[in-house]
Structure 1
Amino acid sequence: MRPHVIDATGDPGLQPERTALAWTRTALAIAVNALLSIRAGFVAGEPWLVAIGVLLFAASGAAFAIGTVRRRQLSGERLVISPPRGALIGVAAATLAASAGGVASVLVMPS
């Protein structure tokens, strides 16, 4: 699937900025869940929670990088409207993993 590219008009409004900020907020939410998972893993002595947290930190960095790329794509002379399909699938998977890690970090009991 090819990205949809259009010429930028004189004033695109705040929509490109909101889109870029949404990627940044998603990265921050994933990073917070990574911290929760790592903390719960160390407190409960569960190495699988620590591993989930480390993977979530990597996903958070990727989501932030995608947000930076999207900000550049949406602020140029030609707007790339559709983000890469792989980025959307990856962020959706990371968000699900962050949710699962957050729930697991609350439910796990310290040993």
Structure 2
Amino acid sequence: MSAHSVPATGDPGLQPERTALAWSRTSLTLAVNALLSVRAGFIAGEPLLVSVGVILFGTAGAAIVVATLRRRQLSGDTLTITPPRGALAGLTAATLLACIAGIVSVMATNGGGA
């Protein structure tokens, strides 16, 4: 997928700002989930959950980089409509990993779901 750019109009509305804020909120959510996963892993003595939390911290950092890039792309004289290559697939994988980590942390802190 190649980048699709259009000239910025005088007033593009709030859509570019909402898009950039959505990326920022997603990265914040990943960081919070990473903290919760690491905490639950330490409390339950689950090193796998701690490592998933550390991986989520890395993906949260990557999402912050993408959010910054998107904010710059959407605030210039030319609006770049498409996100960076692989960003959507990477964010989808990170979100799925965060969901799995949340489920595992609930099961680990509740004694295996019993």
What TM bracket, shorter-length normalisation? Answer: over 0.9
1:82 aligns with 2:87: no
Q: 1:51-66 residue pairs with structure 2 within 5 A?
A: 51-66=51-66
CA drift of 1:88 comes to 0.5
| Residue in structure 2 matched with residue 12 of structure 1 by the alignment | 12
Distance 2:54 2:109 in 1: 20
Query: How large is the RMSD of aligned CA atoms in angstroms?
Result: 1.2
Amino acid paired to 2:27: A
CA contact (8 A) 1:44 1:110 kept: no
Q: 1:1-111 residue pairs with structure 2 within 5 A?
A: 1-109=1-109
Distance 1:26 1:59 in 2: 11
CA drift of 1:84 comes to 2.1
CA contact (8 A) 2:66 2:84 kept: no
Q: Secondary structure at the match of 2:99?
A: helix
CA drift of 1:110 comes to 7.3
Structure 2 spans left out of the alignment, 5+ residues:
none
Q: What TM-score, normalized by structure 1, do the two folds share?
A: 0.95
Q: Secondary structure at the match of 1:76?
A: coil
Structure 1 spans left out of the alignment, 5+ residues:
none
Q: What TM-score, normalized by structure 2, do the two folds share?
A: 0.93
Length, aligned pairs only: 111
What percentage of aligned pairs have identical amino acids?
63
